[in-house]
Amino acid sequence: MVREDGKRNFVMLENGEKTKQFTGRMPRQAALKAARRLEGYDSYESEDEAKDDATEIRLLERGTDRVHVYDAWAWRDTAPNDKPGWMQQNEVSSVTRGNVSKQGIEHIEK
């Protein structure tokens, strides 16, 4: 279901349970947000390392029967030189980056 601002809500399904909610105009945008919040990817220093250990995520689009399935991975990267002021004040030296690869769409039977 699309909101007035054009964004849609997606709920992560873990073991059949609805857990976290992510918002985005497209499913991939929500999946990228979910990928950056995955557990266990803090030790990876490069995308290639993390991609070899991809995690399947399933995002249910609110108001529909569609489940978007992605392989997702994340890794730590150095913070950019033009980082915002709050990052400089807190001396943040690294950021979490994420990427996804769509595997397909499934439909939930009611």
- Domain membership of residue 80 (yes or no) is yes
Task: Establish if 101 belongs to a structural domain.
Answer: yes
Structural domain boundaries enclosing 44? 8-107
The answer to the question of residue 49 being in a domain is yes
In a domain, 48, yes or no: yes
| pLDDT tens by residue, 61-100 | 999 999 999 999 999 998 888 888 888 888 888 899 999 9
Amino acid at 74: A
Confidence of residue 43 (pLDDT cuts 50, 70, 90): confident
Number of structural domains (the chain) is: 1
Per residue in 56-66, pLDDT tens? 999 999 999 99
pTM for this entry: 0.88
Run of H or E residues at 68:
strand 66-78
By the 10 Å C-beta count (0-12 exposed, 13-18 middle, 19+ buried), 27 is classed as buried
Q: Is 3 within the bounds of a domain?
A: no
Integer CA distances (angstroms), 58 to 48, 76, 93, in order: 22, 23, 31
